[in-house]
Chains A and B, each alone.
Chain A
């Protein structure tokens, strides 16, 4: 099996939140519940960026969060896929005119997949992960 094939079968996800309204975070947890059960695809949530293969970013990135996001990205073991979840992370969303935003995510680190929605449904998050899987398989 190719490197991408293996990577796509065991994706450990680290969740980074910086200034979300918290809805997106709850939808991400929803994707792990019995109804959707992402562990079927070998996806699990880990607590340390050092274990992660994929970073989910939610929220408009605020002034405090931006340098930390960059720092986490730099210290993660590569290859690492980045997914921007929610309207905020993709395009600042409702926080467009906020004085406190430094987002969206792709202004700070490269993003592999966008999941728009406010908040995106768990199906949409799974769809975003499928996009990442396809991208990994084609490596």
Chain B
């Protein structure tokens, strides 16, 4: 049964399929915004299937084991998060104390794996991508944790299920002043965690040509792609559970679609920031905002 949870529902398979569809929505909407037709519905799945029949090339000067393992570890971490978040959606009895913190740490692992894999590949552009990714992580993680502190302060709980239970009784966290500030900060951090424009600095197709992923090919790249698809589903759901619950109803799907829409619109209406601009934005813009939110939350607003 545990294996079923991890592999089929709500773990890998369900989230992967949902992620593929979300990724299609993203690409199609982007195409429509640019007055193009856009890819067919199954395109994300074609891409994955194709990557898994291609050859794996391993660069001559790479550290083989780290290079091979990091995509798989990233994929495994996201699968565990999706199982935890998904089980909490189905039945609140599945939660355990502190799963909020476990989830945030697990959500960090894909970024760490990108850095490890890129540094291990021995490519100068990849190491540039890795250094940018590290700086980006250092900048958004601070703001992300401050935003998460607000619901914890308000509910005095570190358990996802209890936070959701609190919201089911007292209304969503995002309906209070400090809650809405935290939610906005978290949404912008989510954009950076998903490495979408304006924070796609580590990938930067047009200047460092794929950056951190440059040496990855075939199934290894496929694992990174699957990780990205799954993150596109699980990160918004995670934020919804914390800030805008309850989610386990048809309205929850609408809430998710709204968040996805926000991601896509932000992506299509912004230019890419430089890394120093991003660090300034998170440390001197969003972090103080988050601190104001924490003070407001302590005052009970």
**Which residues from chain A sit less than 8 Å from chain B, CB to CB?**
3, 6-7, 9-10, 34, 37, 39-40, 42, 46-48, 50-51, 53, 75-79
Contacts and interface: CB of A to CB of B under 8 A. Distances in A.
B35 to A, nearest CB: 4
A53 B40 CA distance: 19
Given A34-B34, A34-B35, A42-B39, A6 B46 contact: yes
A6 B49 contact: yes
A53 B54 contact: yes
Given A7-B53, A40-B37, A51-B216, 10 more contacts: A3-B53, A39-B27, A40-B36, A40-B38, A40-B39, A47-B208, A48-B213, A51-B210, A77-B57, A78-B54
Contacts of B46: 6, 9-10, 42
B210 A48 contact: yes
Interface size class of B (residues with CB under 8 A): 20 to 34
Interface of B: 27, 31, 34-40, 43, 46-47, 49-50, 53-57, 205-206, 208-210, 213-218, 221
25 contacts: A6-B53, A9-B46, A9-B50, A10-B46, A10-B50, A34-B35, A34-B36, A37-B31, A37-B37, A39-B27, A40-B36, A40-B39, A46-B205, A47-B208, A47-B214, A48-B210, A48-B213, A50-B57, A50-B216, A50-B217, A77-B54, A77-B56, A77-B218, A78-B54, A79-B54
Name the prevailing secondary structure of the A interface residues.
Answer: loop
Contacts of B47: 10, 42
Nearest to B47: A10
Nearest to A74: B57
A9 B46 CA distance: 7
Contacts of A50: 57, 214-217, 221
Contacts of B35: 34
A76 B43 CA distance: 23
B154 to A, nearest CB: 44
A53 to B, nearest CB: 7
Interchain residue pairs A-B with the least CB separation, the first 5:
A47-B209, A77-B55, A50-B217, A77-B217, A37-B36
A42 B205 CA distance: 18
Contacts of A53: 50, 54
